[in-house]
Amino acid sequence: MIIVTTLVIPPGGDAGPFDLYSNVDGYTVPFATGVSALQLEAGYSSTVPDNATSIKVVSVGICTNFIILDIDLITTTTTTSSSSTSTSTSTSTSTSTSSSTTTSTSSSTTTTTTTACVNCTPGDITIGTQTWAGCNLAVTTYRDGTPIPQCTDPATWASLTSPAWCYYNNDPATAATYGVIYNGYAATTTAHGGIAPAGYAVPTETDWTTLTYNLGGGTWSPGYGPSDYFQDLIGGMLKQQGACHWGILNIANNSSGFSAFGAGLRGTDGTFNFLLDQTVFWTKTISGYSIDSPWTMTLEAFSEKIWKRYYTKSIGLSVRLIKL
């Protein structure tokens, strides 16, 4: 069968080239080699072995990143056309002339594939002993209805020492998928009842650690410094699969159903970065390293790890609520 594979590669993402494999032979022999990033972004048409249910895209450049895409999560449309009639006449030098007419029929099949992009799931999801919101928080008022100040200007954002929110890239269209971005002052405040609606809360560091226990983890290993810790595999369990809301080569199985997206962040200088590449969630637990630095939880496209780090309250991150 013929499929068209289209992947989103974020700025600064893996440049390839890429080889494509199918699960028919256990991803051992590529059915396409040396595919460029430009070809994948434009939509790369290739013949995949029959009975394949997933394909593996593997970088053969400097990095060896890969992503596995499920074909059964793809919408397939097939059109078949049959027609072709040809007539040939041959004449000999003898006194007899013979003519013959040959009719042949050829069949061509075109298969168009479109990856099914699933947005966040409204409502709640239960993971072990906890219940979490199914989408990132997108409220613009405190619990009591008082508006939370919106900040679009980069210089103003950089100088804030009070709660604020914004859309990623100041684009309201991003809220339905990725939620909105809050600075740490908003995420941790108790003024006006805080930013969480009644019955929910911004999670603590302990809430997130309990979530990792519910998924079979729970022990934080030292990372790159005294304020940097990680757990293997948990990140992959929390991220949505595929390249709809993450960049190419997203390593994820979403076995938890948490369906985290690569929502990006807003830096302390007010610039927007890492959409499709990274998502970072606030906790309301102050790290102890600084009164202005709560713990956060980071998921990255190219990793199955979850990272626990502290960030200054001036940065803009996502919030996923826990149900009380």
What is the per-residue pLDDT across 158-214, written as a single tens digit (0 to 9) for each?
999 999 999 999 999 999 999 999 999 999 999 999 999 999 999 999 999 999 999
pLDDT beyond 60 at 32:
yes
**Percent of residues, the chain, with pLDDT higher than 70:** 79
Q: What is the pLDDT of residue 99?
A: 34
Residue 246, phi then psi, degrees to nearest 5: -135, 165
Q: Which of 71, 68, 75 is nearest to 21 (CA)?
A: 68
With vertex at residue 180, the alpha carbon angle to CA 114 and CA 139, rounded to the nearest 5 degrees, is 120
pLDDT beyond 90 at 81:
no
Q: Which amino acid makes up residue 27?
A: Y
Q: Looking at per-residue confidence, does 264 or 73 come out higher?
A: 264
Q: Which of 313, 311, 279, 278 is nearest to 296 (CA)?
A: 311
pLDDT, average across residues 28-34? 89
Q: What is the pLDDT of residue 55?
A: 82
CA 164 to chain centre: 26
What is the per-residue pLDDT across 294-308, written as a single tens digit (0 to 9) for each?
999 999 999 999 999
Q: What is the pLDDT of residue 114?
A: 42
Q: What is the pLDDT of residue 304?
A: 96
pLDDT, average across residues 246-262? 93
**How many angstroms separate the CA atoms of 308 and 139, rounded?**
25
pLDDT beyond 50 at 108:
no
Among the listed ranges 13-27, 51-65, 99-113, 180-194, which one has the minimum average pLDDT value?
Answer: 99-113
- Most confident residue range from 8-17, 32-41, 112-121, 148-157: 148-157
Name the one residue in this structure whose structure tokens are 């594939």: 113
Neighbouring C-beta atoms of residue 4, cutoff 10 Å: 16
Report how many helices (DSSP H) and strands (DSSP E) the chain contains, helices first. 6, 24
Q: What is the pLDDT of residue 3?
A: 67
Q: Looking at per-residue confidence, does 38 or 309 come out higher?
A: 309
Name the one residue in this structure whose structure tokens are 């479109």: 114
Question: Which residues face 134 on adjacent strands?
Answer: none
On average, the pLDDT of the chain sits at 83
What is the per-residue pLDDT across 240-249, written as a single tens digit (0 to 9) for each?
998 889 987 8
Contact 260, 250 (CB under 8 A): no
Confidence of residue 71 (pLDDT cuts 50, 70, 90): low
